[in-house]
Structure 1
Amino acid sequence: MSQLTTALTQPQLLQLRRLITANADTFPDLGAAWYAQGFERVLATLAATFQHLTDHGLLRIDDPLLAANHFSGMLLWIPVNKAMFHGGPQHTQAELDHCADEGVRVFLAAYR
């Protein structure tokens, strides 16, 4: 999971995210396309995986898409928000790994 957080906190991606977010009111179709082609696809993939794991009795999830949002939020909230407000990544790889490990632990405590 830390690979996902590492990828999503790359400086160039954060700069592009800031640019699209800042212009979402002016160019709502651009923001919607960015979300649909990026983050929404990640959420759909996670939701499908969580549904599969639920179908096989490994997780207890009533709403896989909501669970996907919970999961990604736990992994990304801290490093992405710090980076967005500080102008770039504010974490070490060890801190990303720790956030990812703890996010997985909490997710499994809730949904296992």
Structure 2
Amino acid sequence: MAATGGAGRPEKRQAITRAATTVFGREGYVRASMDAIAAEAGVSKRTVYNHFADKETLFLTVALENSAELTGKIRELMRTYLERVVDLRQDLIDFAVDRARAVLSAGDHGALGRAIRAEVANIPADVLAAWLDAGPVASLRDLAERFAVLADRGLLVVEDPGLAAEQYTLLTFHGVAERSFWGAVPVPDEEVARIAAVGVDAFLKIYRAPAAG
């Protein structure tokens, strides 16, 4: 599985990857065709193959690009809320709310993620592993690093930052994700905030450092 060397103009490649994101999100990996992607991009199928050797290569490319973009957004939210914590509970809630909004309002990016989850058994294992590592796993690693820093500051008691990141995500995000079918069905903002607050309170019962004195 290898790209054909990047032949062709950058704007054509961008049109193809945008179209592929749309088509894979709409049709899924198995049903999507290079013909449909070419038509969506407004280019010939030959042009698609000038840029990408096969459907698997194109799917991997758009999956990784979409994961990297969303992971970057979440990383910025971590910087905003978890780098200079003043009110630990509120900052954890605000981060949870904004992360949920970022993930679940991702448009075609979100549709691609839903397609991956729906067709996990049909997606090549190396593609799935690369997508996970660039997206969900990368965000968990970033969050674990933040929690380790908060533990060093005496705000949390964390023996396993990776486990803490997983538990925080389960408590504050996955309920919203499942209820929305990963962004396909809207969830009211007040419900997103409620789930985040309840989840953070449960998380802090486990991990908040004891008050001094």
**Structure 2 length-normalised TM:** 0.48
Is this contact kept in 2: 1:24–1:30, CA < 8 A?
no
User: Aligned partner of 1:92: which letter?
Assistant: P
Give the drift of 1:41: 1.3
What secondary structure sits across from 1:84 in the alignment? coil
- State how far apart, in whole Å, the 1-side matches of 2:130 and 2:202 are: 31
Choose the corresponding residue for 1:6, options 94, 101, 105: 101
Indicate which of 149, 169, 176 corresponds to 1:72: 169
- The separation in 1 between residues aligned to 2:102 and 2:145, in whole angstroms, is 21
Q: Which has the higher contact order (CA 8 A, sep 6+)?
A: 1
Letter in 2 for 1:29: D
Give the corresponding residue for 1:37: 134
Task: Describe the SS at the equivalent of 2:185.
Answer: coil
Return the offset for 1:71. 0.4
Identify the structure with the greater helix proportion: 1
RMSD: 1.8
Deviation, 1:16, is 1.3
Identify unmatched segments of 5+ residues in structure 2. Answer: 1-94, 209-213
Q: 2:179 aligns with which of 59, 75, 82?
A: 82
Residue 189 of structure 2 corresponds to residue 100 of structure 1: no
Larger Rg: 2
2: distance between equivalents of 1:97 and 1:35? Answer: 26
Q: How many residues align?
A: 111
What do the CA deviations read for 1:29-83 (whole angstroms, capped 9, x no partner)? Answer: 2221221111111111110111111122211111100000000111112111122
The within-5 A match list for 1:41-56 is: 41-56=138-153
Distance (whole Å) between structure 2 residues aligned to residue 83 and residue 30 of structure 1:
25
Q: Is the 8 A contact 1:14 1:83 kept in 2?
A: no
Is the aligned partner of 1:60 residue 2:157?
Answer: yes
Q: Distance in 1 between matches of 2:118 and 2:199?
A: 28
Q: Please give the alpha-carbon distance, in whole angstroms, between the structure 2 residues aligned to 1:78 and 1:23.
A: 21
Sort the Cα spacing of 1:82 and 1:13 in 2 relative to 1 into closer, same or farther, 3 A: farther
CA distance in 2, matches of 1:97, 1:28: 35
Q: Which runs of 5+ in 1 are unaligned?
A: none
| TM-score, structure 1 as length reference | 0.86
